[in-house]
Amino acid sequence: MRERYAELARKKNGKIYRIKSLYDNKLGCGKTTLASKFPKSLILSFEPGTNGLHDKYVAPVKSWSDYKDFVKQLKRTDPKTKKPLLLDKYEILVIDTVDEAYKLCEKYVCNEHDAETIKDVGGYGSGYKILDSEFMDSFRELVYYGYGLLFISHETEKPKINDLGQEYNQIVPALPNRPFLLINKFVDIIGYIRDVPEKQDDKIVHERYIFLRSDERFLTKCRFHYVVPKVKLNYNDFINAIYDAIDKEAAASGDEATDEENIYFSKTFDELMEEAKSIWIKATVDQKEAIMTILEKNFGKTIKFSEITAEQKTELEDSLREIKDSLNLD
């Protein structure tokens, strides 16, 4: 029985799709309210506007230092079980909004280096690399510790050119391009919330929908190929749409959706590193180049196996699985 959202998308390959992003076409469109419906959710509120959510856990975040303090609390583990103490209370962490979170993170990095702008931090271009790491590492850590993440964003328009060479404006999340690319790699679903006019009893009413597939008008993303284009803006319809997409994908591939753990999830970080070392020793020169490309894609930066930390276990698991599947290395 599929009881928890945290388990809803665990497929036969062991990957858990727990990272999402929602953005909308106007303030007060319902994305934060929807996020609050997720079981055991904690809203990390980086900007005002969540006071009206009654009986929900909301933590005001006024600075990146505040956020880092929350992360420390969320990472505290039971000495015996090694399980995060707060994981039973909070399964889904809502970053509201990721736009404001990035601004506070950039301000924090500048203050830490006594710089006026991020360009003044370190040598040429290094400030942005420091900012990238500061912004994304804690999100990866939280996933490693078992939390699900849901990012909320506002919208903006971005000029695009289609395959016919025609210019148009596409609606996208309001993050600057650099952090957007980082988040886009990180999340499994990007949903766009908007009002849709519908005719009911000779009247035009406006229904709110979450778009999971779209044309060129606005950006969406979903790793599940069989997901419906849109669902009404409520928790049950959204979750059921993902359930249905998983079941259809499993049926099409001849597999079956399951809660069984993949072998990687039962391995310790040290065991994974030993496997990585063995693979690297066996790899040819060409295969090593392909391995480095896979690592850069999954970690968002150039990285060696020896530089990977325990907090990046999830990325290491994904990389090893992809390396073995694509390069036939055991």
Which residue, among 75, 5, 7, 54, has the nearest Cα to 265 in the 3D structure? 7
- Residue 40 — φ and ψ, nearest 5°? 55, 45
- DSSP letter at 261 equals P
* Beta-strand relationship, 221-222 and 230-232: unpaired
Return the beta strands (E) in the chain as ranges: 19-24, 41-45, 57-60, 92-96, 148-153, 155-161, 167-173, 189-200, 203-211, 221-222, 230-232
- DSSP letter at 84 equals B
Span 111-166, pLDDT tens digits: 999 999 999 997 777 899 999 999 998 898 898 888 989 999 988 898 988 878 88
Is the backbone of residue 55 left (phi > 0), alpha (psi -120 to 50) or beta? left
| 3-class DSSP state of 87 | coil
Q: State how far the Cα of 188 lies from the Cα of 17, in Å rounded to an integer.
A: 6
What pLDDT, on the 0 to 100 scale, is given for residue 262?
Answer: 43
What pLDDT, on the 0 to 100 scale, is given for residue 114?
Answer: 93
CA 207 remoteness from chain centre: 27
Highest mean predicted confidence (pLDDT) among 12-21, 50-59, 283-292:
283-292
Number of other CB atoms surrounding residue 159 within 10 Å: 8
Span 277-301, pLDDT tens digits: 999 999 899 899 989 988 988 888 8
Tokens 């060129």 correspond to: 216
| 3-class DSSP state of 330 | coil
Helix intervals (H) in 76-176: 98-112, 126-144
Residues above pLDDT 70, as percent of the chain: 83
* Beta-strand relationship, 41-45 and 92-96: parallel
- Model confidence at 312, in pLDDT bands (50, 70, 90)? confident
Span 242-252, pLDDT tens digits: 889 888 887 88
Exposure pattern of 28-55 as b/e (b: 16+ CB <10 Å)?
ebbbbbbbbebebbbbbbbbeebeeeee
Report whether 189 contacts 21 (CB < 8 A). Answer: yes
Give the tokens for residue 109. Answer: 């990095």
Return the beta strands (E) in 131-226 as ranges: 148-153, 155-161, 167-173, 189-200, 203-211, 221-222
- Model confidence at 28, in pLDDT bands (50, 70, 90)? low
pLDDT at 224 > cutoff 70: yes
pLDDT at 1 > cutoff 60: no
Which residue, among 21, 319, 314, 311, has the nearest Cα to 137 in the 3D structure? 311
What pLDDT, on the 0 to 100 scale, is given for residue 305?
Answer: 93
Rounded to the nearest integer, the mean pLDDT of the chain is 81
- DSSP letter at 254 equals T
DSSP string covering 90-106: -SEEEEETHHHHHHHHH
- Model confidence at 5, in pLDDT bands (50, 70, 90)? very low
Span 65-78, pLDDT tens digits: 999 999 999 999 88
Higher pLDDT, 317 or 105: 105
What pLDDT, on the 0 to 100 scale, is given for residue 277?
Answer: 92
